[in-house]
Chain A
């Protein structure tokens, strides 16, 4: 295990240190005293585990492909931007624009998230991204969604409170969103269908949430006590009839 003290270190130098350690094959890296340094794990390829103590800055794990990053506190904006693979676990809350254009890997957040989270997530049969939010989410959650799985749990939300903001899943043309509780159709765009869970959905949830609960030290059974709603794309071609040829 390698321990790095990030106190007072410029982000470029800190990232170079982490990159070098991963390149040398270091499997366990603990970065202490992180205080807003940007771009940690940006474009990082490998299978190391990095634990962050403190609050890392924006764009953590952007373009990342492989490593696991655990943040022991809150995260900021743009985490997992266009991420290709790997895993980010955030034990606190996180900011805006998480998982933009994310193509693979997992982002687990214990707390709540801000606006524009999981916009234009996409996936294929071979590669599919997953985001689980333990708390609530702001506007534009899952906008333009083209693939992958998005789960919104609202664990600490009051009964009847809306878990997501406006424009939920607007422009969705792939992937699935699961919300633990009721979904007000007025929040969603015309491109979104709201349906009940089937066996396949339950299997997906079980697999993902078992892992999530283990990572977050939560009880899976408690999480599953409430019913989920499924949001799906009403059409794979939402704008197919827009044009005159």
Chain B
């Protein structure tokens, strides 16, 4: 067979003196890197993706995974991946796929924004002793509130408030479907969402019956493939999301290959076993804002008016599109920046289409305020939220809440190796192979994810305390409390942020 001229990315090494031949690396590797050679472990390093499963499970610390030292001659323009992708394309004629969000060195705006703090003239607050409010309600807010006195003598709202999703803190788990991730991974998200008082999103893969107990912490998604969508599904969660686009692959659809559709996935998606699950690029019943309005209200009619979220990728004209989405009746606009993760996307699309989430939040928040409709919908910002600092900055730019997915997967063992599309994830996350998914114990990993959310919760409270405010509501769209470092004046203008020192 023709040997690939795309060299291995990583070099897996075993110290044969330390190795006790326990074969645990062979068992743990989902990629088939290791095999038994009679007296020692054989290594096929070209299959290694550096997910580090073997490294963590080697009892003797005998394994080392390094970036392959054999590289093409270094060239600042013709980079390693550029040459490697050309060679792969020359050999296969195919589109190179990738997983996770883009790793190219575009400017990271979050890292050029700094948050204000109180000194002398305005006191900061100690969140360990004083109450801090992170509670967030997603949904339409009335443009004015009128009150009346009830029979009990207490004031109450005159008009009924539109339906709201109550979150204990302004974080949700972003959509990841059963099929793209394992059921155990979805269970981790569901259990953590319930415990943390937030919500997870099913993605476009239906709702498996094992998640029914977590219904009040679930948003169900409707996308172009309409997999698993029926009246029960629409009514199962606290809201319904219409997915138009995804930050990692704006404007393109999805193909879940037949080999990743075993019985349970097929049953949940309501399709035959082993056929491709194709989500067309557009939803062919939505070619306009008017069409979108029709689907939003079709879903509202079918669910007795549950909140409807519309998820779009952040693209050049995002502000006008978001305005249309709000006017079409959406309760939530979900913005996904170009750094957003994916289970599978052509790398050319992931790395070159869309705009950063920071720009998108600012542009959309501005536009909705200018048009006087900011209250009509909540904004969820996602696509590369790495820390509570990113979350705080996104909220200060104008988001109501942030969505996290990659960060959640990292708590389950993910090392962002980016090979989700192969279905061989050794951590049992982005795979349906039963011997691999079985190693992801939902209860064990739910606790880690809960830990992460609690840690971010504390950090957010510390940030608010330093800012001298005691409610996340006071940070929302409060760009006065952000300053830019090393950003040009036009970027600062778009972000609505002053440069540091001013």
Binding site for B on A (CB under 8 A): 12, 15, 38-39, 42-45, 58-59, 62-65, 78, 81-82, 84, 97, 100-101, 103, 116, 119-120, 122-125, 127, 140, 143-144, 146-147, 171, 173-174, 236-245
Is there contact, CB below 8 Å, between B284 and A119?
Answer: yes
Is there contact, CB below 8 Å, between A100 and B284?
Answer: yes
Check B225 for interface membership: any CB of A closer than 8 A.
yes
Query: What's the least CB distance linking A72 to chain B, in Å?
Result: 22
Residues of B within 8 A of A122 (CB): 226, 270-271
Cross-chain contact of A243 among B94, B271, B274 (Cβ < 8 A): B94
Is there contact, CB below 8 Å, between B226 and A97?
Answer: no
Per-residue interface assignment for chain B, residues 262 to 277, with 1 indicating a CB less than 8 Å from any chain A CB and 0 otherwise: 0000100011101110
Is there contact, CB below 8 Å, between B272 and A63?
Answer: no
Bound complex: CA of A149 vs CA of B178, how far in Å? 27
Within 8 A of A (CB), among B58-111: 88-89, 91-97
Is there contact, CB below 8 Å, between B275 and A127?
Answer: no
Residues of B within 8 A of A147 (CB): 271-272
Residues of A within 8 A of B298 (CB): 38-39, 42-43, 59, 62-63, 78, 81
Check B478 for interface membership: any CB of A closer than 8 A.
no
Measured CB to CB, the nearest residue on chain B to A15 is B301
Check B421 for interface membership: any CB of A closer than 8 A.
yes
Given A43-B303, A101-B229, does the pair A124, B270 have CB atoms closer than 8 Å? yes
Cross-chain contact of B226 among A45, A101, A236, A245 (Cβ < 8 A): A101
Query: What's the least CB distance linking A97 to chain B, in Å?
Result: 5
Is there contact, CB below 8 Å, between B285 and A78?
Answer: yes
Listed residue (A44, A174, A242) with the most chain B CB atoms within 10 angstroms of its CB? A242
* Tally of contact residues, B, Cβ under 8 A: 44
Is there contact, CB below 8 Å, between A97 and B285?
Answer: yes
Binding site for A on B (CB under 8 A): 88-89, 91-97, 222, 224-226, 229-231, 234-235, 255, 257-258, 266, 270-272, 274-276, 278, 280, 283-285, 294-295, 297-299, 301-303, 346, 421-422
Is there contact, CB below 8 Å, between A244 and B285?
Answer: no
Is there contact, CB below 8 Å, between B258 and A43?
Answer: no
Bound complex: CA of A103 vs CA of B222, how far in Å? 14
Query: What's the least CB distance linking A83 to chain B, in Å?
Result: 9
Is there contact, CB below 8 Å, between A236 and B258?
Answer: yes
Is there contact, CB below 8 Å, between B230 and A103?
Answer: yes
Is there contact, CB below 8 Å, between B301 and A241?
Answer: no
Is there contact, CB below 8 Å, between A63 and B284?
Answer: no
Given A63-B302, A237-B258, does the pair A84, B230 have CB atoms closer than 8 Å? yes
Is there contact, CB below 8 Å, between B276 and A59?
Answer: no
Bound complex: CA of A222 vs CA of B434, how far in Å? 54
Having A173-B276, A240-B276, A244-B92, one finds 17 other A-B pairs with CB under 8 Å, namely A39-B301, A58-B294, A63-B234, A64-B231, A82-B229, A84-B231, A124-B270, A124-B272, A143-B284, A144-B280, A146-B275, A147-B271, A173-B275, A236-B274, A239-B255, A243-B97, A244-B97
Is there contact, CB below 8 Å, between B302 and A43?
Answer: yes
Bound complex: CA of A105 vs CA of B194, how far in Å? 36
Is there contact, CB below 8 Å, between A245 and B275?
Answer: no
Is there contact, CB below 8 Å, between A43 and B97?
Answer: no
Bound complex: CA of A244 vs CA of B422, how far in Å? 11
Bound complex: CA of A119 vs CA of B89, how far in Å? 32
Is there contact, CB below 8 Å, between B278 and A146?
Answer: yes
Is there contact, CB below 8 Å, between B278 and A173?
Answer: yes
Is there contact, CB below 8 Å, between B271 and A146?
Answer: yes
Residues of B within 8 A of A124 (CB): 266, 270-272
Residues of B within 8 A of A39 (CB): 297-298, 301
Query: What's the least CB distance linking A142 to chain B, in Å?
Result: 12
Residues of A within 8 A of B275 (CB): 146, 173-174, 236-237
Bound complex: CA of A156 vs CA of B274, how far in Å? 40
Residues of A within 8 A of B276 (CB): 173, 236-240
Bound complex: CA of A89 vs CA of B313, how far in Å? 39
Query: What's the least CB distance linking A145 to chain B, in Å?
Result: 10
Residues of A within 8 A of B88 (CB): 244
Is there contact, CB below 8 Å, between B297 and A38?
Answer: yes
Given A62-B298, A63-B302, does the pair A245, B422 have CB atoms closer than 8 Å? yes
Residues of A within 8 A of B266 (CB): 124
Is there contact, CB below 8 Å, between B301 and A43?
Answer: yes
Measured CB to CB, the nearest residue on chain A to B94 is A244
Bound complex: CA of A211 vs CA of B421, how far in Å? 45
Bound complex: CA of A122 vs CA of B206, how far in Å? 14
Residues of B within 8 A of A171 (CB): 278, 280
Residues of B within 8 A of A173 (CB): 275-276, 278
Bound complex: CA of A39 vs CA of B329, how far in Å? 16
Bound complex: CA of A148 vs CA of B79, how far in Å? 48
Listed residue (A39, A81, A101, A173) with the most chain B CB atoms within 10 angstroms of its CB? A101
Cross-chain contact of B272 among A15, A43, A125, A243 (Cβ < 8 A): A125
Is there contact, CB below 8 Å, between B94 and A241?
Answer: yes
Is there contact, CB below 8 Å, between A65 and B231?
Answer: yes
Query: What's the least CB distance linking A96 to chain B, in Å?
Result: 9
Measured CB to CB, the nearest residue on chain B to A102 is B226
Query: What's the least CB distance linking B359 to chain A, in Å?
Result: 30
Cross-chain contact of A144 among B89, B272, B278 (Cβ < 8 A): B278
Is there contact, CB below 8 Å, between A103 and B272?
Answer: no
Cross-chain contact of A43 among B222, B224, B231 (Cβ < 8 A): B231
Is there contact, CB below 8 Å, between A12 and B285?
Answer: no
Listed residue (A44, A59, A241) with the most chain B CB atoms within 10 angstroms of its CB? A59
The 5 listed contacts between A and B (C-beta, < 8 Å) are: A63-B229, A65-B231, A78-B294, A127-B270, A237-B275
